[in-house]
Amino acid sequence: MLMTTAIFAGSDAMAKLIGTTMPLLAMLWFRYLFQALTLGALLVKRAVWPLRFAGPMRLQILRAMLLLANSACTFAGLRHLPLPVTTALAMMAPLFTTLLAATLLGEQVRLAQWVAVAAGFAGMLLIVRPGSDGFSWAVCFPIGSAISFACLQVVSSRLSKGGDAFATNFLTALLATLALTCLALADQAALLAQVRLTPWSSWALLLLMATLATSGQITLLEALRRAPLSVLTPFTYTQLVFAALLGWLIFGRVPDSATALGIGVIAASGMATIVARRAPKIAR
């Protein structure tokens, strides 16, 4: 799981390095095409027919669209915000998951979980600082990433009960690729004109980014084979450490004291939310 968070932080760093040199649609299309081809090859090697272990197709389609929205928001946020800030705001997903569990799934949410959610929003305000000179509406992108990922977790929990993890991730990538292909064909003239202006160095970084993103999906599946999700989830916050480290090494950016405090508050509140959900209920 630690390897997974480091890989995902590296993938985000590569996406930020590409920046505005490549159309967002092209980045997303190549990223999911690469994942579909890689996981498809692994399924062929395992002699697994994806549709046999897919689960309800409507949920597969919804999962693909949510993951696509998550990636689009993340990539857009990385174009305008520092890497640690984008990662920290996107890490609010467990807080939004708690809200969804209470409102959509009807789960009982403890007082400690609501306190953790409130603390997480306070941490977000420390990072965003609305009304300050450094405030940017681009923070909506990573927040949108967190919301879409929270919805994705709800859908994934349904699919995990009867589907194969490799088959699910392959179908997600395939459906996302098909959707992006339709979008690209609808505006192919403008897209091709922008792609022709993309330097070769950006294509090399894109290949590295897609390789890292797909490798992260595979190492995550390997982690889930060895330990329950409830045990592994708190370790996802180590991605904040790797993001801050890469932000310093590659971009020379160090978070200021308020941003660093906000990042710490979000990480602590997210882990507290997870621990509170795992705590046994006390009979009264």
Residues in the chain: 284
Please determine, for residue 282, whether its predicted confidence score (pLDDT) is greater than 60: no
Please determine, for residue 283, whether its predicted confidence score (pLDDT) is greater than 50: no
* C-alpha to C-alpha distance for 122 and 265, rounded to whole angstroms: 8
How high is the mean pLDDT of the chain?
A: 82
* C-alpha to C-alpha distance for 252 and 70, rounded to whole angstroms: 26
* Structure confidence at residue 281 (pLDDT): 46
Single-letter residue type at 199: P
Closest CA to 266 of 105, 143, 106, 167: 143
| Percent of the chain whose pLDDT exceeds 70 | 87
Taking the chain, what is the end-to-end CA distance rounded to the nearest angstrom?
37
